[in-house]
Structure formats: C-alpha cells, structure tokens
Amino acid sequence: MLNRVTSLLEDEAAVLALLESLALAAGREIMRHREAGVHVEHKADASPVTAADREAERVILSGLRTELAGVACVSEEEASDGLLRACEEEDFFLVDPLDGTREFIAGRPDFTVNIALIRRGIPRIGVVYAPAHALLYSGRPGVASEVRVEGQSALARRAISTRPGRTPPTIVASRSHSTPETAGFIARYPDAETVSVGSSLKFCIIARGDADLYPRFGRTMQWDTAAGDAVLRAAGGHTRTLEGAPLTYGVQAGGELATFANPFFIAEGWAA
C-alpha cells in the first residue's frame, strides 16, 4: 500500500485528477443542500457552518484517505471540532470543503471547494471548484486550467495564465472581510479598478488573467488559501508576505489551530 501511495503522489497528473474528481463530488453535495435549504449552526468561534460544509468534507476526506492512505489531511471542520494535529510531514493535504460559507448562506454564488497538496511547505497541486458558477480551476507546476462544468461533470478545459502587470492594476478584494489596511493599500492605486469577490476565487481571477493584485490584510487560515495559491502559482503568479517572502504552508509541532493562520499577504499575477 505504501509503495502504491508513494507512486501515486509522484504522479502529479494523477493526483490532480483525483482532486478534481473529489471536488466535483463535494460540489454535488453542496448544491443538493443549497436546493434543499440551508440550516446554519455556529462554531465555537461564532463563525457559521452548515450541513453542506460537513458533508462536503466527509466526501473529500473519505476519498483522500482511501486513495492516499497515510497521507495527512488537515481540514477546516475537523480542525474546528478539535481534531487538528501537528503536521510536519513533507506531503499533506489542506482542505476547505466550503470556502465562503457566508456567501453560501446569503444565496450568493462565490463559494468554493478547495483542496491542495502541500509539498515541503509549497502548495504544489490545487483545485478550486465553484459549483454555482459551474467552473473548476486546477493547477500543478506548469499546468493551470479553467474547466467548464455541466451537470457536475467536467467538460471544456482551457489553459490559463496570468497577464503582465498593468498600470493601473485591477485589484480583487474580499467582499466580506474588508479592513482599513486593505483600503489603504488600494488607495495607493487611485485609478485602479477594484472588484469585490468572495472565497478563493480571488486567486483564480488573477490566475486566468482578469486581475493583477489581491491584498489580504486580515485573518485567513492556510486551508482558505492553499488551493487558490497553487492555481495562481501554476498560472505564473505568486503570493508573498508583506516582507516579500513566499507564503509557505505547514504547522509547527504542537498542532495548535493558531499555527495554521496565515500572515498578511499579497497575491500578484506577474512573474516574480
């Protein structure tokens, strides 16, 4: 079993295909719950959670733990339920089964399924699926795609890439988590077009060449960003801390939830 898992992990095209399949399956469950009506609960930190979050997570983790048994998985709802663990392995998965829960609850379409493989701190492979938009974004080194989905099955696929930096830039920003620091950053570009988008779609809009910058001066967790970051990097962009270092992923020994929090960062479309 170990040899099979190791072999599959080294086949990045096969891992990407698995993540795409699991994201589509999770998306089906999310849309089923959306059509049936959304019942909202609240976690210990007062953030909302729904049955769709939990069912999507079950689908994804079951698939990963069956096909890639022994590879660590860090997922938002398990973490919220106290099942977070230290994750010092070179390879592990970060999962946000329903990113943009507030968008989902409000009936807006900007929610996504996020799955990423982290390798030595870098988001190596990632899938972002937006079921209400019928769009899936996927990336592995040198290969980034936008996939049209119909009936929750992947159809037309096209390669995507970031665009050269523009003056003024197009900036994407969080719809639900604006901060004074974000406003200050945007003010540096008085002629910039600003687009408000929910969930990890902000990374994908840059990856497909429709925007240039995504500044995030607010709290995010690694499962919020890893998949979109992987797609962006595959498309030619990068994500850096305010000090200019590449955004990295992983947790120190001890496994406390806070260690999975990201620093502030800026995602950019042009090459480093």
Residue 164: predicted pLDDT: 92
Residue 85: predicted pLDDT: 60
| Residue 30: burial class (beta carbons within 10 Å; 0-12, 13-18, 19+) | buried
Residue 253: predicted pLDDT: 42
Instruction: For residue 210, say whether it is annotated as part of any ligand binding site.
Output: no
Fold agreement (2-159, 170-268): no
Lowest-confidence segment of 8-17, 33-42, 186-195 by average pLDDT? 33-42
Residue 54 pLDDT exceeds 50: yes
Mean pLDDT to the nearest integer, 167-184: 87
The answer to whether the CB of 209 falls within 8 A of the CB of 161 is: yes
Instruction: For residue 110, say whether it is annotated as part of any ligand binding site.
Output: no
Nearest to 235 by CA among 162, 135, 165: 162
Query: Structure pTM?
Result: 0.93
Residue 228 pLDDT exceeds 90: yes
Residue 84: predicted pLDDT: 65
Instruction: For residue 96, say whether it is annotated as part of any ligand binding site.
Output: yes
The answer to whether the CB of 132 falls within 8 A of the CB of 109 is: yes
Mean pLDDT to the nearest integer, 225-245: 97
Q: Which residue has the higher pLDDT, 257 or 159?
A: 159
Mean pLDDT over the full length of the chain = 90
Predicted confidence band at 1 (pLDDT cuts at 50, 70, 90)?
low
Predicted confidence band at 255 (pLDDT cuts at 50, 70, 90)?
very low
Report whether CATH 3.40.190.80 matches the domain 170-268.
yes
Instruction: For residue 209, say whether it is annotated as part of any ligand binding site.
Output: no
Predicted confidence band at 254 (pLDDT cuts at 50, 70, 90)?
very low
Instruction: For residue 99, say whether it is annotated as part of any ligand binding site.
Output: yes
Fold of the domain built from segment(s) 2-159: Fructose-1,6-Bisphosphatase; Chain A, domain 1 (3.30.540)
Mean pLDDT to the nearest integer, 160-182: 89
What would the pLDDT profile of 188-222 be if each residue is shown by its tens digit? 999 999 999 988 999 999 999 999 999 999 989 99
For the chain, give every domain's residue range.
Answer: 2-159, 170-268
Return the percentage of the chain with pLDDT > 70, whole number.
Answer: 91
What are φ and ψ of residue 64, in 5° steps?
-65, -40
Mean pLDDT to the nearest integer, 151-180: 87
Residue 79 pLDDT exceeds 50: yes
From CA 42, how far away is CA 177, in angstroms rounded? 18
| Residue 270: burial class (beta carbons within 10 Å; 0-12, 13-18, 19+) | middle
